[in-house]
Amino acid sequence: MLLALLALTLIAPLQQAHAVDDGALGIRPSNESDYFHLDILPGAALDAVAIVSNHTNDPVTLLNYPVDAHNTPQGTFAMGAQSDPRTGIGGWVQLDSAQLFVPPNSELTVPFRISVPENAPPGIYAGGLIIESPRAQGITTTMNGETAFRLDVVQRQGVRIYLNVAGTAVSSLEHGSLTWQQDGNDVLFTLPVRNTGNTIVHPTARLDASGWPGADLTVDFDTADSVLPGAGQELHARLQQAPPVHIGRANATLISEAGTQQAQTSLVYAPWLALIIGLLLMSATLYGVWRGARFVKRARLALAQLAADQAGLGGGDGARPRRGQVLRGK
């Protein structure tokens, strides 16, 4: 029987703790408690040192490489993969070696140099220095007797590098249209933002909804970790257990290092099917009332006409002859 082996590689997410250490391996700056925060002039170079720790009883050989950083759609900080393009810090960092051998229960200093091009625009650049453990081969599992799957795991850890290239700092944040959609009994609002400046911004936003039936509603948007220069993301706010009917407007107040901005949209929703059925029933009722009133009016007119005709038969100057009666002259 022929088996097709599919080897899948799972890259474990980078640690988000300040001291990037999972208890077995770790990497940190030599002279800072959390991340590298460096300042440099365009065209200049600087040297820095990272510390790699091995807390296990076995020696390890690690890959070591720099990467650029970016924001995920959810707004979190993320470091690129080894194969991703490197146009910023990932391309400016030079290492002595792409591999590290760390003895058991020891620390290793890892020097590196950052060289910034002369034409590099001023602003904050974000990246990281990665250590990657050898691929751990998983257990092979056969499905349906024909296809074998194996899940390999690659563990990565990284320390952030924030590099400030000297120049004029510009804080600028643009926003898109405020939109909303119903989600069950909730209303979900979305406000896209993009950092068009050269500094890191930390936007917060609040939503205010007003209109009929009269109750003002307020809810905060999810707070982003940070928005890197050139990055964009969506802020979300959920109005839980919203009123079944609302006719009015929604206003989002966006606050960041770039200032305060406003975004507005109309907010009109209702259970349309129930409203349509109600309107149809109301129309049918009104039509029935109108038809009834029209019938009563016509009946009254007919009765009045009949009464008038009967009154005309009983009046006059002379008596009309009955059938078979002959009037004789004098």
Tens digits of residue pLDDT in 273-326? 556 776 788 888 888 888 888 888 887 887 878 777 777 766 555 545 555 555
Domain spanning 173-269: which CATH class is it, in words?
A: mainly beta
- For residue 300, the model assigns a pLDDT of 82
CB atoms within 10 A of CB 90: 23
Structure tokens at 238: 């959920």
Q: Which one-letter amino acid corresponds to residue 50?
A: A
According to DSSP, the β-strands at 45-54 and 60-71 are unpaired
Q: Three-class SS string for the chain? A: CCCEEEEEEEEECCCCCCCEECCCEEEEECCCCCCEEEEECCCCEEEEEEEEEECCCCCEEEEEEEEEEEECCCCCEEECCCCCCCCCHHHHEEECCCEEEECCCEEEEEEEEEECCCCCCCEEEEEEEEEECCCECCCEEEECCCEEEEEEEEEEEEEEEEEEECCCCCCCEEECCCEEEEECCEEEEEEEEEECCCCCECCEEEEEEEEECCCCEEEECCCCCCECCCCEEEEEEEECCCCCCEEEEEEEEEEECCEEEEEEEEEEECCHHHHHHHHHHHHHHHHHHHHHHHHHHHHHHHHHHHHHHHHHHHCCCCCCCCCCCCCCCC
- What is 4-165's CATH superfamily? Immunoglobulins (2.60.40.10)
pLDDT tens readout for residues 245-257: 888 999 999 999 9
Structure tokens at 14: 């980078």
End-to-end Cα spacing for the chain: 138
Poorest-confidence range of 64-68, 145-149, 218-222? 145-149
Taking the domains of the chain in order of start, what are their residue ranges? 4-165, 173-269
Structure tokens at 139: 């257990």
Residues 6+ apart with CB under 8 A from 76: 16, 225
pLDDT tens readout for residues 229-241: 999 999 999 999 8
Block residue for tokens 């890259």: 11
- For residue 275, the model assigns a pLDDT of 60
Mean pLDDT of the 44-52 span:
98
Instruction: Flag whether pLDDT at 4 surpasses 60.
Output: no
Block residue for tokens 């002595």: 96
According to DSSP, the β-strands at 93-95 and 60-71 are unpaired
CATH topology identical between 4-165 and 173-269 = yes
pTM above 0.85, yes or no: no
Residues 6+ apart with CB under 8 A from 290: none
pLDDT tens readout for residues 167-214: 999 999 999 999 999 998 899 999 999 999 999 999 999 999 999 876
